[in-house]
Amino acid sequence: MHDLDFRRHRRLRQSAGIRTMVRETRLSPSDLMYPLFVVEGEGIKNEISSMPGVFQISLDYLKEEIEEVVSLGIPSVILFGVPSHKDAVGSEAYNDEGIVQKATRFIKEYFPELVVVVDNCLCQYTDHGHCGVIRDGQVDNDPSLELLTKTAVSQAKAGADIIAPSNMMDGFVAAIRQGLDEAGYTHVPIMSYGVKYASAFYGPFRDAAHSTPQFGDRKTYQMDPANRLEAMKEALTDIEEGADFLIIKPALSYLDIIREVRNEVFVPIVAYNVSGEYAMIKAASKNGWIDEKKTVLEMFTSMKRAGANIIMTYHAKEAARWMTEEL
């Protein structure tokens, strides 16, 4: 045995202290972004059946929710609106008195340092559930851009720090950037859902946002999960059009895409740990099949290791507590 010549990699794993010293990827509450579903009305705090621990909340519950987020060291939230009125063109999305606009003004009044990101799409606001204008049974790209741009300007006017367009229309970043600039919001960044797959992992979100398509699906504008090179094309196009961040959605089954995009672009990358990923962890944990804390933190480590700067997740509050315990 004394003649063997081999590497002793275990030397750097022999104690918790040494493992901490050489750890390459670290998690912090500052890595997290918390999604919120805001609804019209008062006294509303409805738990989403497929997403235990996640609620639709009215504005009178919002201050309490944001106080908790801030106390945990989470630096940002992203708002999704659930309007009381829907129509063919999603007019509540660009209503200056719409639910997201009111929620944005409320948060910025009481918590001005919290970064408010606002989802920019029409699907929650249209009666057909698609992300744009319908013409001859299809989502018509260019007229949709006009409404999405109106929505972005209204959101910026309400005080949104970052606009996050998720619609996957061609040219959506260019159109929104031009619209914001012309309206005097040159300082407002765009966090583009640049790489968004037509995924089976979105089911619980559609329960939360009431955004299930009433006919067909979204495969003509969201990406085929089988495609890798197309992700690079989408990402690079959005950078050229002015995106300041890129969201990759979903995260867990697309870690290879996060890494590929990270290797090619120099803007912050957001991994969206989507509703189906959250629901699976919650269900398995409830049944005692996995350790939720260890599984979530390992999952988030994989996302950061793949190249994500920010993790958008429904686990944000729990994860922030767990991360603090780990320090």
Q: Which are the catalytic amino acids?
A: 196, 249
Tell me the C-alpha distance between 169 and 151, whole Å: 14
Where on the phi/psi map is residue 308: left (φ > 0), alpha (ψ -120 to 50), or beta?
Answer: beta
Tell me the C-alpha distance between 157 and 183, whole Å: 9
Q: What tokens appear for 54 in the block?
A: 């996640």
Choose among 53, 24, 18, 13: nearest CA to 37. 53
Backbone phi, psi, residue 291, to 5°: -90, 110
Q: What tokens appear for 69 in the block?
A: 């987020």
Alpha-carbon dihedral of residues 205, 176, 238, 116, nearest 10 degrees? -50
Q: Where are the alpha helices (DSSP H) in the chain?
A: 16-21, 62-71, 99-110, 141-157, 172-182, 203-209, 229-241, 255-264, 275-286, 292-306, 316-326
Choose among 204, 198, 199: nearest CA to 283. 204
